Amino acid sequence: MVMKRPPEAGEILQGTLDMLILRTLVLGPAHGHTIAQAIEWTSENALEIEQGSLYPALHRLEDRGWVSSEWGVSANNRRAKFYRLTIKGRKELNDATGRWRRMTRAIGLILGESFE
């Protein structure tokens, strides 16, 4: 049985965050802090992850079976919960990336060249 939750504001953004997290995990299992840093660094700090929303997103992904998690020890020798992409998650990442590409292309077509 799937629990229905009330839709939250910023559905697109939330969906985007999910996609970014899944993309980060393609490289291998990571804990929350690494994921946040990886997103920030890879985007050249253009995207700043609100850390308070990272974890709810991770838990949501786990509920949907797109990632799995287990406690382990980090590079800093600290206890941390590591998230791993599942097969279902990999497929979802593919779908989401495709959707994103189509959408950005469509938006790009409408906006056209710059106006200077």
Q: Which residues are near other proteins by CB under 8 A? A: 1, 3, 5-6, 31-34, 37, 50-53, 55-56, 59, 74, 76, 78-81
Q: To the nearest whole angstrom, how small is the minimum distance from the Cβ of residue 99 to other proteins?
A: 24
Q: How far is the CB of 41 from other proteins (least distance, A)?
A: 11
Contact between 89 and 79 (Cβ < 8 Å): no
Identity of the residue, 51 or 97, whose beta carbon is nearer to other proteins in the bound complex: 51
Nearest to 88 by CA among 13, 8, 18: 18
Which one, 72 or 98, has the nearer CB to other proteins? 72
Paired sense of beta strands 79-85 and 30-31, if any: antiparallel
Question: Smallest gap, in angstroms, from Cβ of residue 109 to other proteins?
Answer: 37
Separation of alpha carbons 40 and 48, rounded Å: 6
Residues in the chain: 116
Q: Are the CB atoms for 61 and 71 separated by under 8 Å?
A: no
Of the pair 30, 93, the CB lying nearest other proteins is at 30
Which of 79/116 has CB closer to other proteins?
79
Q: How far is the CB of 113 from other proteins (least distance, A)?
A: 39
Question: Cα–Cα distance between 92 and 95 in angstroms, integer?
Answer: 5
